């Protein structure tokens, strides 16, 4: 839709989707890590992974969870930089929003952060050693600037991943979730329309808290067999269509097709392919750096 709106006179190009480096998600989490120990919850975990930016619409996930029974913990994890004003401001905003809805909250301070004053007042630091005392469960747990080990742990315990941005680009988070065998609830717009298969690897929803809450409830209420089937379907979809091997095969197929087309068309497609590869590489780099 976006391509046709921006380039109405050009033929619709063949799409080569960005890839997920699947091997980065194959490492089991180290549960002896104190930074993982503080994430434990006796509740069912609903996970949101996004940078702390307003356009990510994470408040929608909080609004949805507020409509669910109090046996659910929403974990809001993502990129956070004390030098980026929007990151620090929006974390405070989300924390206040959750509390205004009557939800209990806690914020896990980044281990390397020297800007504790910029965190919500409910923050706690990661101990140097594992504390045998389990922290009380909360409704919303914020994890700014999470580590790779924390990410892998959260994906291993989550029952559902919510992805709230509207009209987002492809979005790497649904792919991370599906490869980790976790059903996804995402906005029915943008990239998730191409990654999430409705009712098979998750659910696509209107950008509305009630619709999101209903979809999350369906995932949480699904029998274990159905839940595992959704997870297995999502993982296989990522391997077949969004892995590095699939990416290489698709690029090779496009190049071979270009060699068989007339020169003028090949030139246009070559320019578009080059631009796409550059943009994709930049997107993957930014995701790896900031998400």
Joined together, the tokens standing for residue 141 give 């747990």
CB contact at 8 A, 216 and 158: no
CB contact at 8 A, 50 and 142: no
Joined together, the tokens standing for residue 96 give 């206040």
The CA angle 157-289-105, to the nearest 5 degrees, is: 45
The pLDDT assigned to 267 comes to 61
Q: CA 200 to CA 158: how far, in whole Å?
A: 17
Q: CA 259 to CA 257: how far, in whole Å?
A: 5
β-partners of residue 49 are 77
The pLDDT assigned to 258 comes to 74
CB contact at 8 A, 291 and 176: no
What residue spans of 38-195 are helical by DSSP H?
A: 58-65, 85-100, 148-157, 172-179, 192-195
Task: Provide block-wise average pLDDT over 10 residues at a time, the chain (291 residues).
Answer: 80 86 94 93 97 97 97 97 95 98 96 82 85 84 96 98 94 97 96 96 97 98 98 98 92 80 61 68 57 55
Whether the full predicted model's pTM is greater than 0.75, yes or no, is yes
**C-alpha distance from residue 86 to each of 90, 122, 249 (Å):** 6, 19, 39
Q: CA 82 to CA 211: how far, in whole Å?
A: 33
């Amino acid at each position: 839709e976006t391509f046709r709106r921006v380039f109405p006179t050009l033929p619709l190009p063949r799409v080569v989707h960005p890839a997920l480096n699947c091997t980065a998600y194959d490492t089991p989490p180290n549960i002896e890590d104190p930074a993982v120990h503080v994430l434990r919850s006796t509740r069912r975990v609903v996970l949101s992974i996004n940078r702390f930016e307003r356009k990510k619409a994470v408040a929608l996930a909080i609004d949805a969870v507020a409509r669910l029974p109090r046996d659910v913990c929403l974990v809001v994890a993502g990129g956070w930089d004390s030098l980026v004003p929007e990151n620090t401001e929006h974390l405070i905003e989300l924390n206040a929003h959750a509390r205004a809805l009557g939800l209990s909250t806690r914020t896990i301070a980044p281990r390397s952060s020297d800007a504790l004053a910029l965190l919500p007042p409910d923050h706690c630091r990661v101990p140097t050693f594992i504390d045998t005392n389990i922290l009380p469960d909360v409704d919303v747990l914020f994890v700014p600037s999470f580590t790779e080990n924390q990410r892998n742990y959260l994906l291993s315990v989550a029952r559902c991943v919510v992805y709230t941005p509207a009209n987002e680009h492809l979005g790497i988070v649904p792919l991370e979730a599906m490869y980790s065998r976790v059903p996804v609830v995402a906005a029915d717009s943008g990239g998730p329309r191409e990654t999430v298969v409705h009712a098979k690897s998750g659910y696509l929803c209107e950008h509305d808290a009630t619709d999101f809450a209903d979809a999350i409830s369906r995932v949480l209420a699904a029998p274990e067999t159905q839940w595992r089937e959704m997870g297995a379907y999502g993982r296989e979809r990522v391997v077949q269509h969004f892995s590095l091997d699939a990416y290489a095969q698709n690029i090779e197929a496009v190049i071979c097709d270009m060699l068989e087309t007339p020169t003028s068309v090949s030139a246009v497609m070559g320019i578009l392919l080059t631009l796409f590869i550059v943009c994709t590489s930049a997107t993957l780099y930014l995701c790896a750096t900031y998400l």
